Amino acid sequence: MRKNATVLALIIAIVLAITGCNRGVTNNEMNHEEKEKLKIFTSFYPMYFIAKEIAQDKAEIINMIPAGVEPHDWEPTLKTMAQLQESDIFIYNGAGMERWVDRVIENMDTERSKIVEASKGIELISGEEDHEDEDHEDEHDHGNYDPHVWVSPMNLKKQALNVLNALIEKDGSNEDYYRANYNNLISRLDALDNDIREASKSFKTNIIVTSHEAFGYFAKEYNLKQIPIRGISPQQEPSPAKIAEIVKLCRENNIKYIFVEKFVNPKYSETIANEIDGEVLTLNAVHGLTQEEMDKGMDYITIMYENLENLKKALQ
């Protein structure tokens, strides 16, 4: 393991040297204001959203995962890992979401780069274990915990506080700026939370059938019962027995809507919906945004309001 880490560190150093040479002229031409900006790398969209909302124009923020890419199985390239060495702050979700993160952090200069595990301090909930396919379980292991902490707006507030503290530690001269932006974000999240709670008062059922086990924290926060078709990983394949069990549950509880996520194959959700003469609706776990959504100016909060409208349709 140590030998592999040493080899990886050497490769990253070589790539960093090459890319550094290529950027030399550009860096020399940067003006003073640009040089003062923090350089922040984020592991995937929810982390990018938090950093962007709080740091805004005081930082250059690079989201490591391209638009429209599902993050569960994404792996950084050597070039990306080399670029990460130049970060002032690296923000990742944690809780087992980024399976690659330990080996990346192992090769980072922690005196230069502030590393932020955004889920730190959040009470994690256990994920559903799927033993029907042991190979898949090993391949997509999230450490027996549900890593999707950000789907709860209240958890995103806690993650935002962790990011705020890191920004202040790295750039205390802009503390007031960061705190003002943080407070604005918290106000928006509190409004979203209040609207969800108000809507939930008129829900006739609290059961949500989801394409995979991504909404445990949301369900816990708003007194819903999540019935996932797949486990923590959207790549897990449900057995015919599990599909039949969910169909039976839907019929017994008069459930007519099955939720599916973007970036997740809708096949099993559509199968169950057909069996119960129901419909498929989108419930977006906000793993990432498509380029089209970004072009429209959508963000975590606008997508969560879209989720709320679909929840109203399904549950009221």
The model's pLDDT over 90-142, given as tens digits with 9 standing for 90+, comes to 999 999 999 999 989 998 999 999 999 999 999 999 876 444 443 444 334 44
Residue that the structure tokens 């350089």 belong to: 39
Question: Given a cut of 50, is residue 73 above it in pLDDT?
Answer: yes
8 A C-beta contact, residue 89 and residue 166: yes
The pLDDT tens digits for 272-306 are 999 999 999 999 999 999 889 989 999 999 999 99
In the predicted model, what is the mean pLDDT of the chain? 87
Please provide the DSSP assignment of 43-75 as one string.
SSHHHHHHHHHHHGGGEEEEESSPTT--STT--
Average pLDDT over residues 168-185: 98
The residue among 79, 69, 23, 27 whose CA lies nearest residue 45 is 69
Query: Bigger pLDDT: 178 or 70?
Result: 178
CA–CA gap between residue 261 and residue 269 (Å, rounded): 10
- Per residue, the 3-state secondary structure of 183-242, as one string, reads HHHHHHHHHHHHHHHHHHCCCCCCEEEECCCCCHHHHHHCCCEEEECCCCCCCCCCCHHH
2 or 58: whose pLDDT is higher?
A: 58
315 token code pair: 């549950």
Specify the DSSP class assigned to residue 145. B
| Cβ pair 136, 24 in contact under 8 A | no
> Above pLDDT 90, what percent of the chain?
73
Note the pLDDT of residue 143. Answer: 58
pTM of the model: 0.86
CA neighbor of 285 nearest in space, from 230, 205, 223, 239: 230
Q: At what angle do helices 153-170 and 45-55 cross, to 10 degrees?
A: 50
**69 pLDDT tier (thresholds 50, 70, 90):** confident
**Degrees (nearest 5) of the Cα angle 250, 256, 259?**
90
Which of 121, 54, 126, 76 has the alpha carbon at shortest distance from 94? 121
| Full set of structural domains in the chain with CATH | 2-19+36-121+145-191 (3.40.50.1980), 202-315 (3.40.50.1980)
116 and 162 Cβ atoms separated by less than 8 Å: yes
206 burial type by CB count under 10 A (0-12 exposed, 13-18 middle, 19+ buried) = middle
